[in-house]
Homo-oligomer: A and B are copies of this chain.
Amino acid sequence: MPGAFIQKLRTYALLSPPDIKIVNTACATPRDFPAGYDLIKESDKPGPLFVMCEGWTCRYQTLPDGTRQITAFLMPGDCCDIYASLLEKVDSSLATITPARVAAIPRADFELQIMNRPMLLRAFWHMQLVDQGTLRAWIVSMGRRNSIQRVAHLMCELYFRARNVGLTTTHQFRLPLTQTILADALGLTPIHINRVLRRLRLDGVMELRSSLLIIGDINRLALIAGFDGNYLHHRLHDM
């Protein structure tokens, strides 16, 4: 999915051919990384802007006691830290979960280019908003949903995000997350994740096996989760 990123941007704003060309040439030469590789290390100075072409990564923070908390999953078409060059120090790490193909765009010139392109600017703003909505949805999950609802909500989020970039077939998609990774994202233990997944499986709601998520009953899943996907596919407003 080398074009997933530009495809997504185009759903956020009406881009002209030159806009598209700027993005495409910037992403033209992706590099391959193995699984478990840290693209960004916490407390690094800001590096390039990363755009996911293939594979999955996660943003995470490590706590003093050694535990870690994942704060976002990135799949093809997603990107990380558009404007972070304004900062002195980055506040979280970014690691590959699977082998991944990632484009690293040097910031300085790219920023200058998009500054003078209102529609590109708009597309990036819009993307930021969706990302912020996702962060807020995570806070709501961790604060007020129990373990089953929380798992269900994350699966809904990831399913619809994957669908938006054409990564699903009917009610299933590749989800290369171990139970430990899910636990680190949802603030639970791997053991408890395991029990939740069993229960969802036995109830026929969904099944996660060998990196494939098969959703048996999407309506029931969304009902359990209390899922409102509005924050993911905000439509364009008056343009």
Contacts of A122 in B (CB 8 A): 86
Our pick among B43, B86, B92 for the contact of A237 (Cβ within 8 Å) is: B86
A128-136, A164-172, A193-201 - interface stretch: A128-136
Complex: A136 Cα to B134 Cα, angstroms: 11
A21-29, A48-56, A64-72 - interface stretch: A64-72
A83 and B139 within 8 A (CB)? no
B135 and A132 within 8 A (CB)? yes
Complex: A89 Cα to B184 Cα, angstroms: 31
A86 and B129 within 8 A (CB)? yes
Q: A residues 127-165 with Cβ under 8 Å of B?
A: 128-129, 131-133, 135-140, 142-145
B83 and A140 within 8 A (CB)? no
B61 and A236 within 8 A (CB)? no
CB nearest neighbor in B for A115? B118
Q: Is A192 an interface residue when CB atoms closer than 8 A count as contact?
A: no
Q: Is A231 an interface residue when CB atoms closer than 8 A count as contact?
A: yes
Q: Is A47 an interface residue when CB atoms closer than 8 A count as contact?
A: no
Contacts of A126 in B (CB 8 A): 83, 86-87
A234 and B86 within 8 A (CB)? yes
CB nearest neighbor in B for A88? B235
CB nearest neighbor in B for A84? B129
What is the 8 Å Cβ interface bit string for chain A, positions 97-136, against chain B (1 contact, 0 not)?
A: 0000000000000000001001001100110110111011
**Shortest distance in angstroms between A211's beta carbon and chain B's nearest beta carbon?**
23
B138 and A139 within 8 A (CB)? yes
B125 and A91 within 8 A (CB)? no
Across the A-B interface, give the 8 residue pairs with the lowest CB-CB distance, nearest first: A143-B187, A142-B142, A135-B135, A69-B143, A83-B125, A69-B140, A87-B234, A91-B231
Give me the interface of A with B, judged by CB distance under 8 Å.
12, 43, 46, 59, 61, 63-65, 67-69, 71-72, 83-89, 91-92, 115, 118, 121-122, 125-126, 128-129, 131-133, 135-140, 142-145, 184-187, 226, 230-231, 234-237
Given A83-B128, A142-B187, 15 new contacts (CB under 8 A): A43-B230, A61-B136, A68-B144, A69-B139, A69-B143, A83-B125, A83-B129, A85-B237, A86-B126, A86-B129, A86-B234, A86-B237, A87-B126, A128-B128, A139-B139
